[in-house]
Amino acid sequence: MPAFFSDGGMLKESEKIEAFVYFWLFKLAGSKICRYNNLVFYFRRHLMKKVVCILVFLIAFSFLLTGCSKKQETKSESIETETSVATVKKPEEMVYAIVTKSEGNRYNELEAEGYQKVIEEFGATCIVAHPKSTTAMEQVRLIEKLIEEDVDAITVAANDADALDDVLKKAQEEGILITTVDSNVNPDYTSLFINQVDTKTLAQTLLDAVYDISGGSGQWAILSASSMAPNQTAWIKQMKDLMKEDEKYKKLDLVEIAYGDDLDQLSKNQATAILQTYQDLKVICAPTTVGCRAAAEVVADTETKCLVTGLGLPSEMDDYIADEGPCPYMYIWDSEQVGELAAYATLALMKDELVGMEGHSFTAGDLGKFTVQENEDGGAEIVAGMLLRINKNNIDHWKNVM
């Protein structure tokens, strides 16, 4: 059987055979499938509707042919089957939920606002769930609750990949469509990851900023969010790999990776500790909006030559962006638009406009056309790709946007 059957125990034997048949049907039609769980979802929830309609038609037609003696029986049979078709909800009658990484983080709020706007404009119901902290446990609790509430789709920005496996498996078994945004889960448990920026491109961009700001050599540190956050760990791993692979970075010395859990005070404490330990530190790179702001504040209040870069929210970094420091420049994307894109993609899956197959495209409203690709772990992904470089020349514009 093909490699895609490493399903983490998600499917029963009969379902594997079902998926196997779909796989070959699509392969014969010339399409490459990123994940077969998309196919199972697609066939179960969408094509089945069409199959039921055809069956209704055939049953009604055959009863008509058998004549008037069975007229009464035909009527009741048709009514019964029509009722079952009528119970299949339309995408606009469904309930969509977004589970962010944590409450009290403006970045997450913007992402959820964008998602909610698109879902509600479509005419459907949207639930926004912000966990109390950046832990998987909080997300598991919220997802359990959403399963009980019988929602139809859940979009998650994961605080941990492995720890969400079981609850997402349970949701999928209940027929709930799972998509991910900002921070991904294991590929069997999502139909599509809406990635803000290609992982390697982002790592390269941040590392080049460290290289540039440090003058190409010396000590630098990373101030991350939570240690299990899949987006943070993926970016950090890529940065480390690039440092090993490329001679250009051989004089850069990554002395510490600290975690502030996307909490303001903890991030400030971590930044203070790093500066005390490494007096010659040249750069703190914080690939999290909370960490970036906290590090900039600490650096601004400390006698140090250290500078800050990373991923910051312009409205939170206005006081700190300047050529002479604490933050000469940083990067970010429009997180509200990424949330919008996640909603458009989830709706496209619900509306049969997208199956999560490599090379398939769909239009996300005004945001334009996006194409599904296979990511490093074999899952389906679309990349928003809206990386912005923020410096003193454009902060005044962007601080009013996000």
Residue ranges that bind ligand RAM, judged by CB under 6 A: 101, 105, 107, 182-183, 225, 231, 262, 288-290, 311
The nearest distance, CB 310 to ligand RAM, in angstroms, is 8
Residue number, nearest CB to ligand RAM: 107
The smaller minimum CB distance to ligand RAM, of residues 52 and 163, is found at 163
SS3 115: helix
The smaller minimum CB distance to ligand RAM, of residues 289 and 337, is found at 289
Closest by alpha carbon to 352, among 122, 48, 95? 48
The smaller minimum CB distance to ligand RAM, of residues 71 and 389, is found at 389
The nearest distance, CB 6 to ligand RAM, in angstroms, is 27
The nearest distance, CB 101 to ligand RAM, in angstroms, is 5
Beta bridge partners of 373: 381
Strand duo 218-224 + 283-286: pairing = parallel
The nearest distance, CB 2 to ligand RAM, in angstroms, is 33
The nearest distance, CB 149 to ligand RAM, in angstroms, is 25
Closest by alpha carbon to 277, among 301, 304, 259? 304
The smaller minimum CB distance to ligand RAM, of residues 91 and 339, is found at 339
User: What single string gives the DSSP state of each residue in 141-161?
Assistant: HHHHHHHHTT-SEEEE--S-S
DSSP count for the chain of H helices, then E strands = 14, 17
Closest by alpha carbon to 330, among 371, 278, 382, 289? 289
The smaller minimum CB distance to ligand RAM, of residues 170 and 200, is found at 200
Helix segments in 183-325, DSSP class H: 199-214, 230-245, 264-277, 289-300, 314-317
The nearest distance, CB 89 to ligand RAM, in angstroms, is 32
The smaller minimum CB distance to ligand RAM, of residues 124 and 271, is found at 271
Residue 220 region by backbone torsions, left for phi larger than 0, else alpha for psi between -120 and 50, else beta = beta
CB of 192 closer than 8 Å to CB of 381? yes
The smaller minimum CB distance to ligand RAM, of residues 221 and 290, is found at 290
Beta bridge partners of 327: 321
What's the rounded Cα separation, in Å, for the pair 261 and 363? 35
What's the rounded Cα separation, in Å, for the pair 140 and 275? 36
The smaller minimum CB distance to ligand RAM, of residues 95 and 390, is found at 390
The nearest distance, CB 9 to ligand RAM, in angstroms, is 29
The nearest distance, CB 335 to ligand RAM, in angstroms, is 7
Structure tokens belonging to residue 128: 């926004």
